[in-house]
Structure 1
């Protein structure tokens, strides 16, 4: 699909969107909407999803009030394309934000515009849209300061002085637990557990403890935010909490493993969503846009990739998606790498079209004292420890195909792509994935000159 066709698709959606707003005009007042977003948080690090290292009482309280989604996934595991997919309801190849630090086409549907037309006041504080793209989404009000003290101050001042009578769609995004992490942490690094794919080294534990401190801090602010909206917004209120992708550790952010793409998602609305419920329905971040449009009284525009999961909110036993597709197209010169995946109830197939490329990231290239310096311990250990050598090698080099049986291997540790008994599964899923990519106009664009796996001497930081 050419860029022209993408633009025409965007125009068609925009034309249709005029009809989508009509239904809310003559109805009773819509519910207020609050969306609270974390930055780089894997679901598995929360007690709600089986994590054992920290307590998150505010997140747990929100789950007690609403519905927890056990299988929620982002469209892409880096900040810009993930947030663009959230706010457009389109996957990266269709909205135009494919690699990190890229932005959607001007003419595509944008959620704040729809909510504004439905009668909402739309405001965004902190990291909601990515970086300089925030004004392009046409929130009525936005402020990009994203550290928790600034967000706390700005949100409180806004709510206390607000006089607008329209229902409010409030989007709040904090930078936690995105790097850099704090130098101090209340989490004991020696008593914690680590994700199974990570090497257990002293500095890995230190940095994990710092990351988890930021998770505790974002949880504490969630409690404050809930108290604020209880005081200032209507009783009829939908509250949604999620994260843009997984944590910035190897095999997390920038990858299509579950540590990178499976995220927390909790939605509450008193009297409308069963308190304390859980659902196994598979949902994608592109599904949030049509869901919020329906909550706001509008009709879902045709031609978008998102599918409203409002039916699941009414009945947690309902199925939603039979397949989850995810894409990764790199992060400028720090990570020139492509991956595509398809997930079913049982299997996930990851296709790495260029296994000859080296997988590098900010972690291993920059080795920062505020985040990834532990990787120096990894590379040193790899010189003498065969297990460490395997882990480092699997970080930098990926086979073309990775197939996991998620029922018996939820941590995705055993690649079954070459298992002859699963050859038909691999073939079928690859065909489905390629068919879907064709409908998306996904041209597998390599946006920058890659680093090659067989030339480690060239693995150094580069700028475009």
Structure 2
């Protein structure tokens, strides 16, 4: 009799599951995102650049899954990146063009979408998103990205995972690290002697620059430890095979031509996805994708229907090796009104359009007061000093500050975008075609650059 009643209630539960359109738990993976903070794509060993820190766990994750070589954020700044990730929307539709911009009222996001499909959605660590209170908040990782004595532990994450397992619930977990965002106090910089560091080619070689990169690389290795701890937890709980795990690097380093820019060192990001049995281990795709594609992917693997109002689209077929293409171009954005830039990038070329080139570019590194102790500000002041006495340094600084109306780069041959090809007559047709494609995307998105950015009053102690 007990067996009959058990069978009856199982049928009832499965029946309601079918009615609600929510698949049974065993049909779907859990989802885990570990995300860095202010770290350029060149910083990881799996990208095979000479600028990488020691990242054995992230490299192992890449060897077990798929790495995207053409993954982008629309805006290379913290809040817009996280808004694009959580909402599946580009800035014209979310309203978030920069830090401090409010999310458009009524905008739904990852929590609503996945909760409706039966998932618990938790977050630990950095916020920088208007609707952060919708997440199930998890203790253990530091919230304040400029805290001078950060620490982290896996206790809250472990409790969340174990509780979801005990209750038979699917979960989506976001571990939002603050590493290696300045103030650069964590990790062991002695592992990275400043004199041995290889500088990116657009950098001016100064003592503060090398010291900054040494400290930043130490924090990147600390970020790698967090990825390793997450991987270990999934193994210990027997969940590694049933979890779609992503590592995302956020946007670029806070120096010139990285964060707050529309250049490759700022907009290009690392995305690694592991899902045993579904994603080929050690694979790499050059399919073009953006942060806004993550939420549609999660909805897809959770068994939900596509949402037409999202700017992103599911990457599931790419992950499963059923297609090698995704987007024709990624859409890039910096600012609104007066000094603004828009761009598009495909697998070979990037076009940057600057509305008013007479207005000097100004990242935080450039405009931060001279007495500011942030490492990127110290380094920039040394760049300026070198530019006053050294012609090569002067050219490097001017390259970071000045723009032509159209700039065309071959991002395969010139990933640091040192040579503008737009003025070459043989490229006139390509510039015209890419500009028309950009204008068409702007029109489709309703990207009205004539309107100034409206920001909320900034709270203290939350960084950039």
Question: Helix, strand or coil for the counterpart of 1:169?
Answer: strand
Quote the offset at 1:369 in angstroms: 2.7
The change in CA–CA distance for 1:232 and 1:445 in structure 2 (over 3 A counts) is farther
Q: Counterpart in 2 of 1:371?
A: 375
Quote the offset at 1:317 in angstroms: 5.8
CA contact (8 A) 1:404 1:414 kept: yes
The change in CA–CA distance for 1:318 and 1:365 in structure 2 (over 3 A counts) is same
Q: Mapping of 1:43-62 within 5 angstroms?
A: 43-52=41-50, 53-62=52-61
Q: Counterpart in 1 of 2:34?
A: 36
Quote the offset at 1:248 in angstroms: 0.8
1:145 is aligned to 2:142: yes
The 2-side partners of 1:133 and 1:111 are apart by: 10
Q: Deviations over 1:98-152 (max 9, x none)?
A: 122223213223111110010001101112x4155412xx223356833662353
Q: Deviations over 1:58-89 (max 9, x none)?
A: 00111111111111111210011111111111
Out of 226, 230, 234, the residue aligned to residue 231 of structure 2 is 226
Out of 349, 356, 359, the residue aligned to residue 351 of structure 2 is 349
How many residues align? The count is 422
Which one has the largest radius of gyration? 2
The 1-side partners of 2:453 and 2:121 are apart by: 36
Q: Counterpart in 2 of 1:70?
A: 69
Q: Deviations over 1:170-213 (max 9, x none)?
A: 11100011111128612111011011111111111110111111
Q: Counterpart in 1 of 2:13?
A: none
Question: Helix, strand or coil for the counterpart of 1:193?
Answer: coil
Q: Counterpart in 2 of 1:197?
A: 202
> In terms of mean alpha carbon deviation, does 287-296 or 313-322 score higher?
313-322
The 2-side partners of 1:275 and 1:60 are apart by: 12
CA contact (8 A) 1:417 1:423 kept: yes
Q: Mapping of 1:62-101 within 5 angstroms?
A: 62-101=61-100
1:275 is aligned to 2:276: no
Gaps of 5+ in 2: 1-18, 455-464
The 1-side partners of 2:423 and 2:201 are apart by: 23
CA contact (8 A) 2:138 2:160 kept: no
Quote the offset at 1:446 in angstroms: 5.6
The 2-side partners of 1:375 and 1:343 are apart by: 28
> In terms of mean alpha carbon deviation, does 26-35 or 216-225 score higher?
26-35
CA contact (8 A) 2:57 2:228 kept: yes
Q: Counterpart in 2 of 1:114?
A: 113
CA contact (8 A) 2:101 2:453 kept: no
Q: Counterpart in 2 of 1:407?
A: 412
The change in CA–CA distance for 1:22 and 1:324 in structure 2 (over 3 A counts) is farther
Quote the offset at 1:445 in angstroms: 4.2
CA contact (8 A) 2:103 2:130 kept: no
| Superposition CA RMSD, Å | 2.3
Q: Counterpart in 2 of 1:125?
A: 124
Quote the offset at 1:404 in angstroms: 0.9
Question: Helix, strand or coil for the counterpart of 2:375?
Answer: coil
Q: Deviations over 1:315-366 (max 9, x none)?
A: 1761111111111227xxxx98421101122211001112222222221222
The change in CA–CA distance for 1:355 and 1:272 in structure 2 (over 3 A counts) is same
Quote the offset at 1:371 in angstroms: 1.5
The change in CA–CA distance for 1:92 and 1:22 in structure 2 (over 3 A counts) is farther
The 2-side partners of 1:200 and 1:336 are apart by: 32
Out of 163, 182, 185, the residue aligned to residue 189 of structure 2 is 185
Quote the offset at 1:29 in angstroms: 4.0
Gaps of 5+ in 1: 1-20, 450-464
CA contact (8 A) 2:208 2:375 kept: no
Quote the offset at 1:26 in angstroms: 5.6
TM-score normalised by L of structure 1: 0.85
